[in-house]
């Protein structure tokens, strides 16, 4: 570790003049302003900041390999930003070739007692680690890190894999002032270029360079030289109700379509869906498994086989697969898929289970087709061109009496026609080996709802007894069934923990079983409201739809994805009798989201000796664009505030 002390120049200048934010964001060179600054006013929550980063990818004129040079300059604002000084670089390899890295140079700059101290990374502190069969990690940590440090590091990656032209992230979980990517792509290589995310480029320029590449036999190629710059990019902060970060993180990616060698021979890499359909039809893990015949008469009971009602037969076949074959939690839709092994071992991956379901339904005369999906955590599948590796899940579409059902038999708690929440990722690819595949929406049109009906009576001991009837549908019912049937005691304990003033008794569930379409329960609550002399403060919301607002960002640049429409309804009747009268009641309230995409209605009415309270909340869309975020944030705030309201009761004389 080498330290170099540099005296400050222009000592007659007061250091406080350098404490102002004036980062040098146009250069890799570290300035005194970079080191002396201690804050980032545009984002006071930032722990670190990318001041400048530059990437340059090009084909070497002599070796014909892909070279990517990277430079980064980062400001460490506080201790929580120290992790940005731990660097990991991924190098790809296959059985015959590998990427290499060279020219790693890393330096830490600190300001100590009026001097700039420069600490350089030793080569002995650079480590290599095998990550998996395709990746090796190169790791190093910048030395002498303190709050206020500026770190710089640079390296060059040499890659023989031109199909894997380097992507570039313009956005990260810390802000970036200047992110620049320069590329030079010879005309021999033709790529799909995708700019992902909602952030806008400050610069997007391309120029043609003649004869940039020459082969040994005298052939030449022109190059397209491009420069992409993004400035003042905010940190990407993950928040509730989003799908994979990779869907929205600002970046540029490359997918090789064709390569033309210097002899003029064209090699196609990008495929059409027509080509992919033909390949999948004979692919051993998908097409061949889908075409395998299964001995339905040996697997299914006579009651199922003899059922004349098509829907009932389909439901019975679904239940058979669901109850007799366990998901091993492996996705692997293109690996180790075997219907035969599933039947033998009673356990298998997603494709094995749902392909068995598909084949049994098909052999019983039911129209079925498989759908390839990318799950919510896996990111969106590319629609512009086929990228089969982006799919990681398979479900079944069944059409019965002109109605379409989406089916997945991997979960014991799913009812017929339900698919797991992880599958709600907007769209999938419906495979049809006769007529060609097509994109289909994965949409749940019916809202998932939570309905509570409560009635409070005051007994002779002035104890408040509340009878609650609750009904959950859709994904709320699925979650409730999983929670209740897996551990009933824990489920009831969780209900009681919703309020420190409640004791629950006589809990009863009237739903049929763990795969019922809904979840219906009832219970009684003994409630002790806050008592201050002759006044009682009664919060009527024993069950809160939202304890807190999940939306906290100043700005959200990516959509709000609930996955499904939501409806909440709360009805309360409070019988006051001769004990109390209402001194103060909450104000009525009604508001709608823009374009009537959601609504809150709340009212309290007093009739004779009873109080009737109604609250209904509708989220009418499963998916909201980022423009809705400030409205949804305020919408959620209002829901939380309403649920904090209390009725103020006074004892009757």
Residues 339 and 432 in one domain: yes
For residue 254, give the nearest of 384, 146, 136 by alpha carbon: 384
- pLDDT tier at 370, thresholds 50, 70, 90: very high
d(CA 442, CA 65) in angstroms, rounded, equals: 42
Enclosing H/E stretch for 345: helix 339-345
Residue 490: φ, ψ to 5°: -65, -35
| Residue 344 · residue 352 · CB < 8 Å | no
For residue 520, give the nearest of 568, 566, 468 by alpha carbon: 468
d(CA 208, CA 68) in angstroms, rounded, equals: 20
d(CA 201, CA 189) in angstroms, rounded, equals: 24
d(CA 186, CA 332) in angstroms, rounded, equals: 36
Least confident of 54-58, 177-181, 259-263: 259-263
Enclosing H/E stretch for 631: helix 629-643
d(CA 61, CA 186) in angstroms, rounded, equals: 11
The alpha carbon of residue 509 and the mean position of all alpha carbons in its chain are separated, in whole angstroms, by 33
For residue 224, give the nearest of 264, 188, 200, 260 by alpha carbon: 188
Q: What percent of the chain has pLDDT over 90?
A: 77
The CATH number that applies at residue 466 is 2.60.120.1130
Structure confidence by residue, pLDDT tens digits, 562-591: 999 999 999 999 998 887 888 888 899 999
63-90 average pLDDT score: 97
Structure confidence by residue, pLDDT tens digits, 336-367: 999 999 999 999 999 999 999 999 999 999 99
Structure confidence by residue, pLDDT tens digits, 138-176: 999 999 999 999 999 999 999 999 888 999 999 999 999
Residues 504 and 613 in one domain: yes
Predicted local confidence at residue 10, as pLDDT = 32
- Give the ranges where 395-551 is alpha helix by DSSP (H): 474-486, 488-496
- Kindly tell me if the per-residue pLDDT of 6 is higher than 50: no
2-26 average pLDDT score: 52
The CATH number that applies at residue 398 is 3.10.620.30
Residues 431 and 500 in one domain: no
For the chain, the C-alpha Rg in angstroms (whole number) is 31
- Kindly tell me if the per-residue pLDDT of 502 is higher than 80: no
Residues 260 and 326 in one domain: no
Instruction: Specify the length of the chain in residues.
Output: 653
Predicted local confidence at residue 527, as pLDDT = 78
- pLDDT tier at 3, thresholds 50, 70, 90: very low
Measured between alpha carbons, how far apart are the two ends of the chain, in Å? 83
For residue 253, give the nearest of 161, 163, 187 by alpha carbon: 163
User: Where a domain ends, among 385, 410, 440?
Assistant: 440
Residues 497 and 608 in one domain: yes
pTM of the shown model: 0.88
Query: How many CB atoms within 10 Å of residue 363?
Result: 17
Question: Cα–Cα distances in Å, from 588 out to 451, 489, 614, 619, 634?
Answer: 20, 37, 10, 20, 17
- Kindly tell me if the per-residue pLDDT of 500 is higher than 70: no
Residues 420 and 462 in one domain: no
Residues 33 and 92 in one domain: yes
d(CA 426, CA 443) in angstroms, rounded, equals: 7
Which residues, 6+ apart, have CB-to-CB distance to 390 below 8 Å? 374, 378, 379, 380, 381, 382
d(CA 567, CA 615) in angstroms, rounded, equals: 11
Query: How many CB atoms within 10 Å of residue 577?
Result: 12
Residues 454 and 420 in one domain: no
Predicted local confidence at residue 9, as pLDDT = 37
Hey, what are 424's tokens? 């709600």
Residues 474 and 416 in one domain: no
Predicted local confidence at residue 498, as pLDDT = 74
Predicted local confidence at residue 216, as pLDDT = 74
d(CA 644, CA 515) in angstroms, rounded, equals: 35
- Kindly tell me if the per-residue pLDDT of 384 is higher than 90: no
429-449 average pLDDT score: 95
Residues 341 and 460 in one domain: no
Residues 80 and 173 in one domain: yes
Query: How many CB atoms within 10 Å of residue 546?
Result: 13
d(CA 110, CA 472) in angstroms, rounded, equals: 58
Q: What's the count of helices (H) and strands (E) in the chain, helices before strands?
A: 11, 37
| Residue 324 · residue 342 · CB < 8 Å | no
| More confident call, 48 vs 212 | 48
* Secondary structure of residue 35 in the 3-state scheme: helix
User: Where a domain ends, among 241, 267, 293?
Assistant: 267
Tell me the residue range of the domain where 289 lies.
Answer: 273-440
Residues 350 and 263 in one domain: no
- Kindly tell me if the per-residue pLDDT of 462 is higher than 90: no
User: Where a domain ends, among 223, 244, 267?
Assistant: 267
Domain count, the chain: 3
- Kindly tell me if the per-residue pLDDT of 15 is higher than 70: no
The CATH number that applies at residue 224 is 2.60.40.3140
């Amino acid at each position: 570790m080498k330290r170099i002390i540099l005296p400050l120049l222009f000592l007659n200048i007061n250091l406080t003049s350098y404490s102002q934010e004036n980062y040098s964001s146009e250069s890799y060179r570290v300035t005194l302003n970079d080191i002396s600054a201690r804050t980032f006013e545009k984002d006071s929550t930032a722990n670190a900041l990318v001041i400048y980063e530059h990437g340059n990818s090009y084909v070497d004129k002599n070796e014909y390999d892909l070279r990517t040079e990277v430079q980064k300059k980062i400001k460490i604002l506080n201790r929580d930003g120290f992790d940005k000084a731990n660097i990991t670089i991924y190098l790809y390899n296959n059985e015959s070739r590998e990427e290499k890295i060279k020219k790693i140079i890393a330096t830490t700059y600190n300001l100590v007692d009026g001097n700039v101290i420069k600490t350089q990374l030793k080569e002995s502190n650079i480590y290599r680690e095998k990550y998996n069969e395709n990746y090796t990690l190169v790791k190093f940590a910048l030395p002498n890190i303190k709050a206020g440090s500026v770190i710089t590091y640079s390296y060059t990656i040499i890659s023989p894999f031109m199909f894997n032209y380097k992507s570039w992230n313009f956005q990260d979980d810390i802000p970036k002032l200047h992110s620049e990517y320069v590329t030079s792509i010879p005309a021999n290589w033709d790529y799909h270029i995708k700019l992902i995310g909602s952030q806008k480029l400050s610069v997007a320029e391309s120029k043609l360079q003649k004869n940039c590449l020459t082969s040994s036999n005298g052939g030449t190629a022109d190059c397209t030289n491009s420069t992409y710059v993004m400035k003042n990019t905010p940190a990407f902060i993950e928040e509730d109700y989003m799908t994979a970060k990779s869907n929205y993180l600002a970046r540029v990616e490359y997918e090789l379509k064709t390569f033309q060698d210097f002899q003029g021979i064209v090699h196609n890499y990008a495929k059409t869906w027509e080509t992919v359909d033909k390949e999948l039809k004979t692919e051993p893990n998908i097409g061949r498994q889908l075409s395998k015949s299964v001995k339905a008469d040996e697997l299914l009971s006579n009651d199922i086989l003899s059922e004349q009602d098509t829907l009932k037969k389909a439901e019975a076949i679904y239940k058979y697969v669901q109850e007799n074959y366990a998901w091993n939690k492996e996705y692997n839709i293109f690996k180790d898929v075997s219907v035969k092994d599933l039947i033998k071992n009673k356990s298998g991956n997603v494709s094995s289970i749902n392909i068995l379901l598909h084949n049994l339904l098909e052999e019983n005369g039911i129209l079925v087709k498989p759908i390839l999906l990318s799950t919510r955590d896996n990111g969106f599948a590319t629609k512009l061109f086929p990228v089969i590796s982006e799919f990681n899940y398979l479900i079944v579409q069944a059409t019965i009496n002109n109605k379409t059902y989406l089916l997945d038999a991997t979960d014991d708690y799913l009812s017929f026609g339900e698919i797991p929440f992880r599958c709600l990722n907007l769209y999938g690819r419906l495979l049809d080996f006769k007529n060609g595949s097509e994109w289909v929406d994965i949409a749940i049109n019916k809202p998932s709802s939570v309905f509570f009906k409560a009635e409070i009576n005051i007994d002779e001991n002035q104890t408040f007894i509340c009878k609650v009837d609750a009904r959950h549908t859709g994904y709320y019912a699925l979650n409730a069934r999983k929670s209740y049937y897996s551990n009933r005691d824990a489920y009831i304990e969780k209900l009681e923990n919703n309020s420190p003033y409640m004791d629950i008794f006589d809990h009863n569930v009237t739903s049929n079983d763990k795969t019922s379409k809904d979840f219906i329960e009832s219970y009684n609550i003994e409630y002790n409201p806050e008592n201050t002399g002759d006044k009682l403060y009664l919060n009527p919301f024993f069950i809160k739809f939202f304890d807190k607002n999940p939306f906290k960002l100043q700005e959200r640049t990516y959509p709000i994805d609930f996955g499904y429409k939501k409806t909440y309804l709360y009805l309360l009747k409070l019988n006051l009798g001769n004990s109390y009268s209402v001194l103060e009641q909450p104000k009525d309230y009604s508001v709608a989201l823009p374009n009537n995409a959601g609504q809150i209605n709340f009212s309290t009415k007093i009739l004779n000796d009873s109080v009737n309270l109604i609250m209904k909340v509708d989220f009418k869309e499963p998916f909201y664009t980022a423009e809705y975020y400030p409205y949804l944030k305020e919408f959620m705030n209002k829901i939380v505030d309403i649920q904090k309201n209390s009725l103020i009761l006074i004892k009757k004389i």
